[in-house]
């Protein structure tokens, strides 16, 4: 069973555009929903995260929208830049259980 | 303040050999995690420690895999009798007790020939 489904698999956006990546999960026991950014040859780095008691969180150009009833959350990157070109992973976590379950990733390309 | 470090960064071995990887977490972090990542996939959870106690192991972790964190600081991941299917990036992460923000190391890329 795939607990986290991420879409799209790849995304091409023009510089200055909005990038939107979606995740859907199955288990309601999760209590933390992070997004990670990964560049080639590097480990994932936490970008932004949200708890289920909040519907939206914004940090700079990055926003998470969270829909608890639909068990979905999304990452919006405003004013996308070529430097944002990377692979993005959503994850779900039960902080008591410890482990994170990751989506399969979205490769974002921002064209100048 | 240094981040999570892993050693070696790359390892090439022949099938059947044993390999050991090391992870040094952020010094004040109680929790340490191991993940495996194959090309085009997200990281898959393998195991995690809270201090020196190994609290959870994935069903993915066969008997050939063992991890230790003897003094609650650095950790080692050993793979015995490596198989070609073990070729992957092995990632280590650490976090505080709250377990929310996990900081990842650069990974060890393993190639089994």
pLDDT reported for residue A1:
54
Count the neighbouring beta carbons within 10 Å of the beta carbon of residue A94. Answer: 15
Determine the 3-state secondary structure of A83 from DSSP.
helix
**Residues in chain A, total:** 112
Which of B24, B46, B102 would best serve as a mutation to test chain A binding (most A beta carbons within 10 A)? B102
B85 to chain A nearest CA, in Å? 19
B100 falls in which pLDDT band (50, 70, 90)? confident
Cβ–Cβ below 8 Å for B45 and A103 = no
Q: Is pLDDT above 80 for B63?
A: yes
Q: Is pLDDT above 80 for B2?
A: no
- Neighboring chain B residues of A101 at a CB cutoff of 8 Å: 45
The answer to whether the beta carbons of residues A83 and A76 sit under 8 Å apart is no
Rounded Cα distance, B92 and B56, in Å? 15
Rounded Cα distance, A11 and B62, in Å? 36
pLDDT reported for residue B31:
93
The per-residue pLDDT for range B67-98, each reduced to its tens digit, is: 999 988 999 999 999 999 999 999 999 998 87
Q: Is pLDDT above 70 for B52?
A: yes
Residue of B nearest to A10 (CA): B40
Q: Find residue A25's DSSP bridge partners.
A: A4
pLDDT reported for residue B96:
87
pLDDT reported for residue B1:
53
- Neighboring chain A residues of B93 at a CB cutoff of 8 Å: 43
Cβ–Cβ below 8 Å for A43 and B91 = yes
A47 reaches B (C-beta below 8 A): no
Rounded Cα distance, A77 and A20, in Å? 7
**Higher per-residue pLDDT: A111 or B59:** A111
Which of A38, A92, A98, A107 would best serve as a mutation to test chain B binding (most B beta carbons within 10 A)? A98
Cβ–Cβ below 8 Å for B93 and A43 = yes
In order along chain A (112 residues), what is the average pLDDT of each group of 10 residues? Answer: 87 97 90 94 93 94 95 97 97 84 96 94
Q: What is the mean pLDDT of chain B?
A: 93
By Cβ distance, the residue of B31, B102, B106 closest to A42 is: B106
């Amino acid at each position: 069973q795939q607990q986290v489904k991420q879409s799209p698999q790849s995304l091409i956006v023009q510089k200055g555009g909005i990038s939107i990546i979606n995740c859907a999960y199955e288990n309601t026991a999760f209590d933390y929903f992070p997004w990670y950014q990964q560049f080639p040859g590097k480990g994932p780095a936490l970008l932004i995260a949200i708890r289920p008691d909040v519907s939206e969180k914004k940090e700079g150009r990055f926003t998470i929208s969270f829909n608890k009833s639909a068990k979905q959350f999304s990452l919006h990157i405003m004013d996308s830049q070529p430097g944002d070109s990377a692979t993005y992973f959503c994850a779900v976590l039960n902080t008591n259980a410890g482990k994170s379950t990751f989506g399969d990733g979205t490769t974002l390309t921002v064209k100048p | 303040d240094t981040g999570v470090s892993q050693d070696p960064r790359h390892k090439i071995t022949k099938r059947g050999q044993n390999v050991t990887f090391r992870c040094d977490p952020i010094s004040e972090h109680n929790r340490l995690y191991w993940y495996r990542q194959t090309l085009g996939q997200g990281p898959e959870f393998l195991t995690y420690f809270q201090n020196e106690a190994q609290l959870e192991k994935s069903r993915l972790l066969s008997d050939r895999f063992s991890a230790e964190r003897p003094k609650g600081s650095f950790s080692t991941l050993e793979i015995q009798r490596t198989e070609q299917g073990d070729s992957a990036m092995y990632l280590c992460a650490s976090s505080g007790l709250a377990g929310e923000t996990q900081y990842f190391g650069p990974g060890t890329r393993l190639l089994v020939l």
